[in-house]
Chains A and B, each alone.
Chain A
Amino acid sequence: MTVHFKQDKPDESNRLDDMRQGVIGKALPRVEGLAKVTGTATYAAEYSIDNCAEGVLVTSTITRGEVTSIDRDAALAMPGVIAVIDDPRLTTRAAQGTADEAPQQKPKTVCYWGQPIALVVAETFEQARDATKHLAIEYRVEEGAPLDPNTVEPEEQEDETVHQGDLAHAMSEATHSVDVTYTTRGHASAAMEPHAAIAQWDGDKLTVYASLQMLNYNISELADALDMEEGDIRLVSRFVGGGFGSKLGISEEAVAASIAAKELGRPVRVVMSRQQVFQCIMRRSETTQRLRLCTDANGTLTGFGHEALVSNLPGEEFAEPVLQSSHFLYGGENRELMLKVARIHRMTAGSVRAPGEAVGMPALEAAMDVLAEEVGIDPVELRLKNIPEKNPEEGLPFSSHKLAECLRQGAEAFGWDRGPRKPRQTREGEWWVGTGMASAARVHNVSEAKARVTLKPDGTALVETDMTDIGTGTYTILSQIAGEMLGLSPDRVLVDLGDTRHPRGPGSGGSWGAASIGSAVYVACQAIREELASRLDVEEAELDLSDGKAGSGESIVDLLDGKDLAREGYYEPGDIADDYTASGFGAFFAQVRVNRFTGEARVDRMLGAFGFGRVLNHKTARSQCLGGITWSIGVALTEALEFDPRDGHLVNPDLAEYHVPVHRDVPDLDVIMVEERDPAASPIQAKGIGELGMCGGAAAIANAIYNASGARVFDFPMTPDRVLAAMPD
């Protein structure tokens, strides 16, 4: 039985708070923790499947053109090689998040350097890998593919454009104004588990073990690529070794494994190399951003301008949504926002953790620091002054808004010394030391979601959905939500995820997972509670469940009479999405040291204070924040994709040359969670959390670099050469 709940109004009842089990929000360790720490959690490539052949993808060494021939015979003559596959259904890009249809196919047509064009299958991985290196491929090259976003005429993304009032006039009339341009380089998700899939056919039925974030969309993307019915496909992703956007859409290895397994009549595994993951999944676009901000004498914004240029391949709809939070974060009646996309032939641009704000917020918040100095006020004060009452463009109210509390609590806990600031006040040996801060914002999304909850006669509960846990804590929070609602200790709740045989969840992406699937589980549990209440002949509101018993003493097991009690919860976001602007907010504070001789910047300590609705598990929520802050350090100091200007190929496609933060780059971090209930965000009053921690943090570091050393750098990442060049003598 499916119970449908569409949220059209804010839910002020906060039902979870009325429950008696007392586990919601608790800092419980992860239910799958022991499996992860003992190496017994099974990731996509690790299923033991008999007679599995090994496939290795072959990628192009030209930028644009056509594959005219592949010399299969030579490869097939090599030991163990079984097949060279260049089926036109092979996909050449990863699908964009929520695409719901196959990405680009026809591997003979090459659109970027490093694009998959074929698959070699052999008995062993070593044999397949060797054969790909010996495969002779001929191309017809189409010269002159545009590669530099600054040299093509970009396309305006019109639905992002805002012209309100007259910004140019406001800028010229204002007491204080700044007009600055920032650049950010491309980023890679670089999830630690490379993309992998094992495909296995049973007649016309296909099972794929894969590393994917959104099975509910991936199944239709795969079905479309293979021209199959979804009902004939099963996808399994029980453990996913990180996603960060890179596994939102079906990717090349899953389609290739499926095609090869069908053709060969035996299971095939395809695992991408680290280099292939870098080159043929997704990059975050580089950006160029112009910020124009102006205020009256007191520092109240009268004008707000944010224009950005990003890039993508021809034919891709995704444009890094740089301005997403700029639309509502600060006031200013004269507004000018515009996003443009340059069509170039670098690899596909798509979602990388916190698409949009991950780069838009650092630029905006660095510009706010320049403005604070110009106005001569404390940067925290400048933010507090400019928090709008309502969305300054659409006039919508905010569902909840914790920016001011986060700024105040964060400043207090960090020991922020208020007042106008001057750079270069503290030196320790060869290091300048200083502090900086920034606001955080990330739009909150929810999606429809389904989950089945079954109360079992043995006194346990089972939660089933194809939702994934990509390290975010889904297994654990769902056991807590169901446990809280049904009066069970979470260890009595078995959560079964990542299998398309279960009801469709929302998938993990855009920070919408927990609030959406948590709401579906909540709806299912609510329906079970109603049934239990009617069996007990009481009102549901009076049903007091804890530790397997009702308040009146009956055990839940007795009420079940030896039978399962199952309900499927179907949660759907309703009209409410159009009535409110919903966002997570926060504040970052950082202390940084800058070497006066080398320009090297090191983060000494960093704090983030965040408001994102109800906290479902303090331990896993904090970890999400820690992860986000860690990414902020990478964005600020080290992460940059570098492309060869001659052919657009990614020149640093590995973890030695693309520098993600390592242990020694990350100091002890403080996280403050400003607990709130957001009644409009979801029926469980929770908002997204996985991305907020990196939406602005890089600016706190950039602003601290300036405060420490006097180096105002306008390009992220702030590598030693750039810092040194900007440092006053």
Chain B
Amino acid sequence: MAQTISVNGAPHSVPDDPRVTLLDFLRQDVGLTGTKKGCDHGQCGACTVIVNGVRINSCLTLAAMHDGDEVTTIEGLGTPDEPSALQKAFVEHDGYQCGYCTPGQICSATAMLTEIANGWPSDASETLEGAVEISGEEIRERMSGNLCRCGAYANIVAAIRDVAEQSA
């Protein structure tokens, strides 16, 4: 039976070569190059995508492991004509410079806000129980897997806070 991966709602067949990572599958096979390769080793977060609602480093997993999964990439979050709230906030706050880490930051932040809403605690949380309060420290802790060598962190955090507070 053909194996398929749903990418932004469209089905794609799983590649024949089992060595192909989910990241290379998205970039090469599907042709969605918004997802970036910064290290190929799970060290930078540039390749972050959302699989079945959870953010992962797509370079650290093989495409063959995702039969039946729903993958959302940066292209699935919004378009230049219809950007998501976070995408708009990144533009407004200059939450990028070169833009290479940006899709990963935005995918990561999108899923991260859901994690906070669901009450998942982090190292920066006051307690392990109950609702998590959104703060700069919470965001920084949870976004620390997404490196930005341009050093746009202060603006990225401002953009995320802005959206988190608007929707809170």
Interface residues of A (CB under 8 A from B): 29-30, 32-43, 45-46, 48, 124-126, 130, 189-194, 239-244, 271, 273-274, 470-473, 619-620, 622-624, 626-631, 654-656, 660-664, 666-669
Contacts and interface: CB of A to CB of B under 8 A. Distances in A.
5 contacts: A37-B78, A37-B91, A37-B103, A627-B150, A628-B151
Contacts of B150: 192, 242, 471, 623, 627
Given A34-B83, A39-B74, A655-B38, A240 B98 contact: yes
B151 A627 contact: yes
Contacts of A33: 90-91, 96
B43 interface: yes
B100 A46 contact: no
A130 B150 CA distance: 32
B137 to A, nearest CB: 8
B95 to A, nearest CB: 8
A620 B152 CA distance: 11
B146 interface: yes
Nearest to A241: B100
B94 A619 contact: yes
B151 A191 contact: no
Interface in B15-69: 17, 19-20, 24, 27-28, 31-41, 43-44, 46
A561 B103 CA distance: 44
B144 A192 contact: no
Contact of B147 (A30, A192, A627, A667): A192
Given A39-B33, A655-B38, A663-B139, A126 B90 contact: no
The 6 lowest CB-CB distance pairs between A and B, nearest first, are A39-B34, A630-B151, A241-B100, A471-B98, A36-B99, A471-B97
Contact of A46 (B27, B92, B146): B27
Interface string B101-144: 11100100000000000000000100000000000110111011
A37 B153 contact: no
B94 A46 contact: no
A35 B41 CA distance: 26
A125 B28 contact: yes
A690 to B, nearest CB: 10
Contacts of A271: 37
A628 B102 CA distance: 18
Given A35-B80, A471-B96, A655-B39, A192 B87 contact: no
Contact of A274 (B38, B73, B79, B103): B38
Nearest to A623: B94
Contacts of B137: 664
B75 interface: yes
B39 A274 contact: yes
Nearest to A626: B154
Given A242-B98, A244-B149, A38 B43 contact: no
B100 A38 contact: no
Contacts of B94: 29-30, 619-620, 622-623
A427 to B, nearest CB: 21
B164 interface: no
A655 B43 contact: yes
Given A126-B17, A663-B146, A194 B37 contact: yes
Interface residues of B, number: 64
B141 A664 contact: yes
Nearest to A80: B17
Nearest to A191: B149
A661 B151 contact: yes
A43 B74 contact: no
A610 to B, nearest CB: 15
A627 B94 CA distance: 12
A115 to B, nearest CB: 21
B102 A193 contact: no
A242 B149 contact: yes
A38 B155 CA distance: 17
A38 B88 CA distance: 10
Which of A33, A240, A660 has the most chain B CB atoms closer than 10 A to its own CB?
A33
Contacts of B92: 29
A242 B91 contact: no
B100 A192 contact: yes
Majority secondary structure of chain B interface residues (helix, strand, loop or mixed): loop
Contacts of B147: 192, 655, 660, 662
B14 interface: no
B151 A666 contact: yes
B152 A46 contact: no
Contacts of B71: none
Nearest to B137: A664
Given A627-B152, A655-B147, A471 B99 contact: yes
Contact of A242 (B83, B100, B106, B156): B100
Given A36-B102, A271-B37, 13 more contacts: A29-B91, A37-B87, A38-B79, A38-B83, A191-B100, A194-B38, A244-B149, A273-B40, A274-B43, A623-B94, A623-B155, A661-B151, A664-B141
A241 B97 CA distance: 9
B57 to A, nearest CB: 12
Contact of A34 (B27, B91, B154): B91
Contacts of A46: 27, 33
Contact of A192 (B33, B88, B98): B98
Nearest to B97: A471
B46 A192 contact: yes
Contacts of A667: 136
Contacts of B91: 29-30, 33-34, 37
A273 B38 CA distance: 9
B157 interface: yes
Contacts of A619: 94
A562 to B, nearest CB: 31
Contacts of B77: 38
A340 B100 CA distance: 37
Nearest to A125: B24
B5 interface: no
A35 B97 CA distance: 12
A32 B79 CA distance: 13
B154 A668 contact: yes
Contacts of B145: 662
A192 B46 CA distance: 8
Contacts of A37: 74, 78, 83, 87-88, 90-91, 96, 99, 102-103, 106
Contacts of B39: 194, 274, 654-655
Contacts of A244: 149
A35 B74 CA distance: 11
A38 B38 CA distance: 17
Contact of A38 (B75, B101, B139, B144): B75
A173 to B, nearest CB: 44
Which of B27, B36, B40, B153 has the most chain A CB atoms closer than 10 A to its own CB?
B153
Contacts of B90: 33, 36-37
B153 A126 contact: no
B73 to A, nearest CB: 7
Contact of A669 (B34, B97, B154): B154
